[in-house]
Structure 1
Amino acid sequence: MTLTLERRATTAHRNVGVFGRADFPAGSAHEQVTFFQDRATGLEAIVAIHDTTLGPALGGTRFYPYADEAAALKDVLRLSRGMTYKSAIAGVDLGGGKAVIIGDPATGKSEALLESYARFVQTLGGRYITAGDVGTNSDDLDIMGRATDYVVGRNTAAGGSGDSAPMTALGVFQGMKAAAQAKWGSPSLAGRSVGVEGTGKVGYQLIKLLLADGASVIATDVNSDALDRVARDFPEVTIAPSVIDRVLDVYAPCALGATLTGESVSVIAADVICGAANNQLADTAVERAIGDRGIVWVPDYVANGGGLIQVAGERLGTSAEEVRAQVEKIFATVVRILDVAQREGVLAGAAADVLAEARLAAAR
Structure 2
Amino acid sequence: MLDHEQILIRRGPRSGLPVILALHSTALGPAAGGLRLWRYPDWRDGLADALRLSAAMTLKFAAAGLAGGGGKTVVALPQGTRLDPARRRDVLYDVADVIDSMGGVYAVGPDVGTAPADMAVIGEVTPHVFCKPEDLGGSGDSSPHTARGTLAALRAVGRRLYGDGDLEGRRMALIGLGHVGEHLARLLAAEGVELTVTDIDTAKRELAEELGAAWRSPEEIVSADVDILIPAALGGVLTTRAVRDLRCRAVAGPANNQLDTPEVSELLHQRGIVWIPDYIASAGGVINAMTTELHGLGVDQALARVNAIEGTVADLLKTADDLGVTPAQAGLEMARRRIRAAMPETLPRPHRGGAPSPAGAADGPAPFI
Taking structure 1 as the reference length, what is the TM-score of the superposition? 0.89
Q: 1:106 offset after TM fit, Å?
A: 7.4
Distance 1:302 1:83 in 2: 10
1:216-295 equivalent positions in 2, closer than 5 A: 216-225=194-203, 227-228=204-205, 230-231=207-208, 234-242=210-218, 243-295=221-273
Amino acid at match of 1:236: G
Identify which of 118, 138, 160 aligns with 1:182: 160
Distance 1:298 1:352 in 2: 9
1:99 maps to: 73
Question: Could you give the per-residue CA deviations for residues 210-245 of structure 1, whole angstroms, max 9, x where no partner exists?
Answer: 1111101111111234x145246x341222212111
Amino acid at match of 1:221: D
Distance 1:209 1:321 in 2: 18
- SS of the equivalent of 1:65 reads strand
Identify which of 98, 102, 105 aligns with 1:127: 105
Distance change in 2, residues 1:149/1:251 (3 Å): same
Between 289-298 and 31-40, the greater mean CA deviation after superposition: 31-40
Amino acid at match of 1:341: A
Amino acid at match of 1:325: A
1:209 maps to: 187
Distance 2:20 2:329 in 1: 29
Distance change in 2, residues 1:106/1:160 (3 Å): farther
Distance 1:90 1:44 in 2: 32
Paired residues in the alignment total 336
Distance 2:58 2:23 in 1: 9
Question: Could you give the per-residue CA deviations for residues 266-307 of structure 1, whole angstroms, max 9, x where no partner exists?
Answer: 001111100111111111110111011111111110110001
1:41 counterpart = 2:15 = yes
Identity over the aligned pairs, expressed in percent? 35
Q: Is the 8 A contact 2:175 2:231 kept in 1?
A: yes
Identify which of 296, 317, 323 aligns with 1:344: 323
- SS of the equivalent of 1:99 reads strand
1:89 maps to: 63
Identify which of 60, 73, 91 aligns with 2:47: 73
Q: Is the 8 A contact 2:14 2:90 kept in 1?
A: no
2:128 maps to: 150
Amino acid at match of 1:291: H
Identify which of 21, 25, 30 aligns with 1:51: 25
Per chain length, whose mean CA-contact separation is higher, i.e. which structure has more relative contact order (CA < 8 Å, sep 6+)?
2
Distance 1:72 1:124 in 2: 20
1:332 counterpart = 2:340 = no
Q: 1:118 offset after TM fit, Å?
A: 0.8
Q: Is the 8 A contact 1:105 1:135 kept in 2?
A: no
1:140 maps to: 118
Distance 2:161 2:81 in 1: 41
1:10 maps to: none
Q: What is the alpha-carbon root mean square deviation over aligned residues?
A: 1.5
Q: Is the 8 A contact 1:166 1:202 kept in 2?
A: yes
Q: 1:75 offset after TM fit, Å?
A: 0.9
Amino acid at match of 2:215: I
Q: Is the 8 A contact 2:89 2:121 kept in 1?
A: yes
2:284 maps to: 306
1:30 counterpart = 2:4 = yes
- SS of the equivalent of 1:77 reads helix
Question: Could you give the per-residue CA deviations for residues 319-358 of structure 1, whole angstroms, max 9, x where no partner exists?
Answer: 1111110011100010011011112110001111111111
- SS of the equivalent of 2:70 reads strand
Question: Could you give the per-residue CA deviations for residues 106-133 of structure 1, whole angstroms, max 9, x where no partner exists?
Answer: 7126112212211221111111100011
1:13 maps to: none
Question: Could you give the per-residue CA deviations for residues 148-176 of structure 1, whole angstroms, max 9, x where no partner exists?
Answer: 11100011011101100011011111111
Q: Is the 8 A contact 1:180 1:272 kept in 2?
A: no
Taking structure 2 as the reference length, what is the TM-score of the superposition? 0.88
1:297 counterpart = 2:275 = yes
Distance 2:328 2:173 in 1: 22
Q: Is the 8 A contact 2:189 2:211 kept in 1?
A: no
Distance change in 2, residues 1:127/1:77 (3 Å): same
Structure 1 stretches of 5 or more lacking a match? Answer: 1-19, 22-28
Identify which of 96, 120, 137 aligns with 1:159: 137
Q: 1:198 offset after TM fit, Å?
A: 0.7
Q: Is the 8 A contact 2:19 2:94 kept in 1?
A: no
- SS of the equivalent of 1:51 reads coil
